[in-house]
């Protein structure tokens, strides 16, 4: 333990040091915030601290799966006359760092592929006639430049990186190159660092206390603690190392404050039958102290605003539904390949090498006999060329705007819920995103931002209460804001308004049906001005001119459904929207 190396004083420097020692074990870091000289300097520092020759692989936002995973190498294949494999970026990053640019816009498929490689530490390639498994041990440095709350590193990746840093708070640490050699010797000690049971228990207890659900966070915290110990030349993780690791790994993942959780824990322990073996009892007695120390460390690292927000959180509800996934990034999906076709016109298309080679293959023997042909080179003709066809799938986001006010009788509201449930099945078939806004009393609430997880739509729908006044204009305004945001994300919004058209709360919150109706009509016209596709389902017992007028102002298709049941609403909506 002699000569323990001091830890850097700032979190940014500490994270950089730990990543330099153990990039693949720690999964990496998410650097949240806009690019700037601070971020550049920090990254340069990491590159310098990593051992010489460590791969640093940049992944552009529009990376194709063929580049990520590897595929046929065009030039080499043509020269050799047989398929030659080009390794992908994941394999190239083996032993080093994968640097994701604009990580907040990475699409779900790419994120899942990177996540799978992080888990398995290999990349499995089954593409273009190639079947192979290649080593891919790397950590990621993700540049998350999202500004909005819903633009961020996809959850599958966020939960696999140990750290997150605010890009604006980074700084140049000066002469990092000097630590490179020390990093090397810390690496060699890493495998030997042991973690005492009391430390593991304290790390687990702390994670649960902060409402962190995934076991991955605990494993990453333990790995961070071992990396710190390795740097300090310790043979065993000590309390200080565990506290520092917990601060870095847990603080940004916390979903609640630990006060209520400690009660739960003690409660649990009391219920536990006392037949555990001695070894474990001793361990849990020992863990009391470090547990507190670690909790305090994490608490100190939480930003002030977050603290209040978390303290106000009624409970672990958010955690139970899978962490922060409700604000998962919704990135634009690009066209996906749907097949190949023969084409002599390559302009603007992507050549499909495999299909081209397959078309050419049967003719090689014949063509090689021709006088001008070389015996080795592939003889390709124009008619062999095949291009990949892409389907540019513009996605639809259906926004359900539900009148949940008292004028909708309880039974009526149940029918409307039923209709939406049925519609969800159709939305599923078309791979739509679905959003849910409800208005009643004096406000409109976005119950669910656009999502494909229809299970969640069903849940929030089921929980939707009814009754109260009708702030129709506010509801329409909210739908317009959401539709605008949907458009920004590259999707086409469709607004389905389910109401009886009766309004009695104006935009300014005053009651009175005249002003309220006026405001509703104004809000409706704004929707039309934006050119959104809209549909109004009149849910009143008897169709009323008011709802029809509103539909006209919105430019919406009007569907009166006085006695309809859920199935009929569904059929009508589909024929109008599809």
Ranges within 516-575 binding other proteins (CB under 8 A): 566
Q: How far is the CB of 196 from other proteins (least distance, A)?
A: 11
Read off the tokens for 171: 């700084």
Q: Is 301 in the site for other proteins (CB under 8 A)?
A: no
Q: Is 215 in the site for other proteins (CB under 8 A)?
A: yes
Q: Is 454 in the site for other proteins (CB under 8 A)?
A: yes
Residue with tokens 């009660």: 263
Q: How far is the CB of 135 from other proteins (least distance, A)?
A: 15
Helix or strand or coil: residue 347? Answer: coil
Q: How far is the CB of 128 from other proteins (least distance, A)?
A: 6
Nearer to other proteins, 301 or 454 (CB): 454
Specify whether the CB–CB gap between 71 and 86 falls below 8 A.
yes
Q: Which 239-298 residues touch other proteins, going by CB under 8 A?
A: 265, 268-269, 272, 276, 280
Distance, in Å, from the CA atom of 98 to the CA atom of 94, rounded to the nearest integer, reads 9
Specify whether the CB–CB gap between 236 and 196 falls below 8 A.
yes
Neighbours of 239 (CB within 10 A): 18
Read off the tokens for 15: 């994270």
Nearer to other proteins, 197 or 543 (CB): 197
Specify whether the CB–CB gap between 189 and 60 falls below 8 A.
no
Q: Is 338 in the site for other proteins (CB under 8 A)?
A: yes
The CA-CA-CA angle for residues 156, 20, 160, to 5°, reads 10
Q: How far is the CB of 348 from other proteins (least distance, A)?
A: 23
Q: How many chain residues bind other proteins (CB under 8 A)?
A: 80
Q: Which stretch binds other proteins (CB under 8 A): 93-101, 354-362, 436-444, 475-483?
A: 354-362
Strands of 101-196 (E only): list them.
Answer: 122-127, 130-135, 138-144, 163-166
Q: Which stretch binds other proteins (CB under 8 A): 98-106, 204-212, 397-405, 472-480?
A: 204-212
Nearer to other proteins, 179 or 419 (CB): 419
Q: Is 74 in the site for other proteins (CB under 8 A)?
A: no
Q: Is 351 in the site for other proteins (CB under 8 A)?
A: no
Q: Is 75 in the site for other proteins (CB under 8 A)?
A: no
Q: Which 78-117 residues touch other proteins, going by CB under 8 A?
A: 81-83, 108-109, 112-113, 116
Helix or strand or coil: residue 377? Answer: coil
Residue from 43, 57, 89, 208 binding other proteins (CB under 8 A): 208
- Four-residue CA torsion sign, 403, 409, 414, 420: negative
Nearest CA-CA partner of 59 in 116, 117, 142, 3: 142
Q: Which 143-202 residues touch other proteins, going by CB under 8 A?
A: 155-156, 159, 191, 195, 197, 200-201
Maximum Cα interatomic distance, the chain, rounded to a whole number of Å = 92
Q: How far is the CB of 456 from other proteins (least distance, A)?
A: 7
Residue with tokens 């630990």: 258
Distance, in Å, from the CA atom of 518 to the CA atom of 499, rounded to the nearest integer, reads 16
Q: Which stretch binds other proteins (CB under 8 A): 298-306, 421-429, 477-485, 488-496?
A: 421-429
* End-to-end C-alpha distance for the chain, whole angstroms: 70
Give 127's strand partners.
130
Q: Is 387 in the site for other proteins (CB under 8 A)?
A: no
Nearer to other proteins, 177 or 361 (CB): 361
Q: How far is the CB of 164 from other proteins (least distance, A)?
A: 17
Residue from 452, 525, 528, 568 binding other proteins (CB under 8 A): 452
Q: Exposed, middle or buried: residue 467 (CB in 10 Å: 0-12, 13-18, 19+)? A: middle
Q: How far is the CB of 505 from other proteins (least distance, A)?
A: 28
CA 40, distance to chain mean position in Å, is 24
Q: How far is the CB of 364 from other proteins (least distance, A)?
A: 6
Read off the tokens for 125: 């390639």
Residue from 127, 180, 333, 334 binding other proteins (CB under 8 A): 127
Read off the tokens for 248: 């870095």
Residue from 26, 59, 183, 357 binding other proteins (CB under 8 A): 357
Q: Is 455 in the site for other proteins (CB under 8 A)?
A: yes
């Amino acid at each position: 333990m002699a000569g323990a190396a001091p830890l850097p004083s700032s979190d940014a420097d500490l994270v950089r040091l730990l990543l330099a020692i153990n990039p693949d074990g720690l999964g990496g870091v998410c650097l949240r915030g806009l690019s700037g000289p601070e971020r550049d300097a920090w990254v340069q520092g990491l590159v310098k601290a990593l051992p010489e020759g460590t791969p640093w692989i940049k992944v552009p936002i529009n990376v194709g799966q063929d580049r990520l995973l590897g595929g046929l190498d065009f030039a080499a294949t043509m020269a050799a006359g047989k398929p030659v494999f080009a390794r992908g970026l994941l394999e190239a990053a083996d032993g080093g760092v994968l640097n994701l640019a604009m990580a907040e816009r990475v699409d779900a498929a790419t994120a899942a592929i990177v996540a799978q490689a992080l888990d398995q530490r290999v990349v499995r390639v089954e593409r273009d006639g190639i079947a192979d498994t290649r080593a891919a041990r790397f950590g990621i440095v993700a540049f998350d430049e999202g500004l909005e709350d819903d633009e961020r590193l996809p959850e599958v990746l966020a939960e696999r990186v140990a750290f997150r840093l605010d890009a604006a708070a980074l700084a140049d640490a000066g002469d990092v190159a000097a630590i490179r050699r020390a990093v090397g010797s810390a690496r060699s000690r890493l495998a030997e660092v042991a973690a005492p049971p009391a430390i593991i228990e304290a790390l687990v207890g702390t994670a649960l206390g902060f409402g962190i659900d995934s076991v991955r966070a605990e494993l990453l915290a333990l790995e961070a603690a071992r990396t710190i110990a390795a740097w300090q030349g310790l043979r065993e993780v000590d309390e200080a190392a565990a506290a520092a690791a917990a601060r870095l790994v847990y603080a940004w993942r916390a979903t609640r404050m630990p006060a209520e959780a400690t009660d739960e824990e003690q409660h649990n322990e009391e219920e536990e039958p006392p037949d555990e073996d001695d070894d474990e009892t001793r361990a849990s007695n020992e863990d009391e102290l470090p547990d507190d120390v670690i909790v305090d460390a994490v608490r100190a690292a939480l930003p002030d605003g977050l603290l209040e927000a978390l303290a106000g959180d009624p409970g672990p509800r958010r955690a139970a539904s899978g962490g922060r996934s409700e604000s998962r990034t919704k990135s634009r999906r690009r066209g996906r390949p749907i097949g190949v076709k023969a084409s002599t016109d390559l302009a603007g298309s992507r050549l499909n090498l495999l299909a081209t080679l397959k078309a050419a293959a049967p003719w090689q023997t014949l063509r090689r006999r021709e006088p001008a042909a070389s015996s080795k080179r592939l003889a390709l003709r124009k008619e062999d060329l095949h291009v990949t066809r892409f389907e540019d799938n513009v996605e639809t986001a259906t926004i359900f705007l539900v009148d949940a006010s008292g004028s909708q009788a309880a039974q009526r509201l149940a029918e409307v819920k039923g209709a939406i449930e049925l519609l969800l099945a159709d939305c599923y078939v078309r791979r739509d995103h679905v959003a849910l806004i409800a208005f009643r009393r004096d406000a409109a609430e976005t119950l669910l931002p656009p999502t494909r997880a229809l299970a969640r739509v069903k849940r929030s729908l089921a929980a939707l209460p009814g009754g109260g006044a009708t702030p129709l204009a506010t509801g329409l305004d909210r739908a317009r804001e959401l539709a605008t945001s949907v458009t920004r994300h590259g999707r086409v919004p469709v607004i389905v308004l389910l109401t009886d058209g009766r309004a009695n709360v104006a935009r300014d919150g005053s009651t009175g049906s005249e002003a309220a109706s006026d405001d509703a009509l104004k809000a409706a016209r704004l929707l039309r001005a934006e050119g959104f596709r809209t549909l109004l389902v009149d849910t009143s017992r008897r169709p009323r001119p008011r709802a029809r007028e509103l539909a006209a102002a919105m430019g919406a298709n009007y569907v009166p459904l006085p006695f309809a049941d859920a199935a009929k609403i569904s059929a009508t909506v589909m024929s109008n929207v599809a």
